[in-house]
């Protein structure tokens, strides 16, 4: 019985952190990288353009001298950034009908239709989910 309670507590503590990783915003990801890897970036990646791909390459290349805290954090943060980018790309596909019919927009300019989609009635569950995963909700 005690083991079951311990397992429930461990799972309860882990689940919120997994949910946070899936819905991490760009700002939160950047803040996490800055707090965990700031010193490593200054020491090992000076002069590297701070876009996500080049920074990830630099930290990967120097992983033998990067701190343990940074190693534990930066892959998770970059993965969250990539998931958010991919989710924003899928909004145009998931919300195509709503963008055209409810908002009178074009899927080529999805970002202009987001405010309308947020307030429109009749938006499908699939579109709402895509907007949530993309961080619009």
Q: Is residue 55 part of a domain?
A: yes
Q: Is residue 82 part of a domain?
A: yes
Domain that holds residue 80: 25-86
Helix boundaries (H) for the chain: 2-22, 26-44, 52-61, 68-94, 96-101, 110-119, 125-133
Largest Cα–Cα separation, the chain: 58
Please indicate, yes or no, whether the overall pTM of this predicted structure exceeds 0.75: no
pLDDT at 10: 30
Domain count, the chain: 2
In contact, 39 and 74? CB cutoff 8 Å: no
Residues 39 and 54: their CA atoms lie apart, in Å, by: 17
User: Does 41 share its domain with 80?
Assistant: yes
Residues 1 and 122: their CA atoms lie apart, in Å, by: 48
Residues 105 and 45: their CA atoms lie apart, in Å, by: 43
pLDDT at 65: 92
Q: Is residue 1 part of a domain?
A: no
Q: Is residue 10 part of a domain?
A: no
User: Does 29 share its domain with 78?
Assistant: yes
User: Does 99 share its domain with 75?
Assistant: no
pLDDT at 7: 28
Cβ neighbourhood burial of 72 (10 Å; 0-12, 13-18, 19+): exposed
Query: Tens place of pLDDT for every residue, the chain, 137 residues?
Result: 433 333 232 333 333 333 333 557 778 888 888 888 888 888 988 887 767 678 888 888 888 998 989 888 888 888 888 888 888 888 888 888 888 888 888 777 777 888 888 888 888 999 988 888 888 87
The b/e string for 77-116 (b: 16+ C-beta within 10 A; e otherwise) is: bbebbebbeebbebbbebbeebbeebbebeeeebeebbee
Q: Is residue 136 part of a domain?
A: yes
User: Does 82 share its domain with 104?
Assistant: no
User: Does 104 share its domain with 76?
Assistant: no
pLDDT at 16: 36
User: Does 74 share its domain with 111?
Assistant: no
User: Does 46 share its domain with 78?
Assistant: yes
User: Does 76 share its domain with 30?
Assistant: yes
């Amino acid at each position: 019985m005690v083991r079951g309670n311990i397992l429930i507590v461990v799972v309860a503590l882990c689940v919120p952190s997994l949910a946070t990783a899936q819905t991490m915003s760009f700002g939160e990801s950047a803040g996490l990288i800055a707090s965990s890897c700031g010193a490593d970036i200054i020491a090992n990646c000076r002069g590297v353009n701070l876009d996500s791909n080049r920074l990830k390459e630099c930290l990967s290349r120097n992983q033998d001298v990067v701190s343990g805290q940074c190693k534990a954090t930066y892959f998770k943060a970059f993965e969250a950034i990539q998931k958010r980018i991919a989710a924003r790309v899928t909004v145009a596909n998931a919300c195509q009908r709503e963008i055209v019919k409810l908002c009178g927009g074009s899927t080529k300019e999805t970002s202009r239709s987001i405010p309308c989609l947020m307030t429109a009635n009749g938006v499908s569950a699939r579109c709402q989910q895509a907007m949530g995963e993309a961080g619009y909700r």
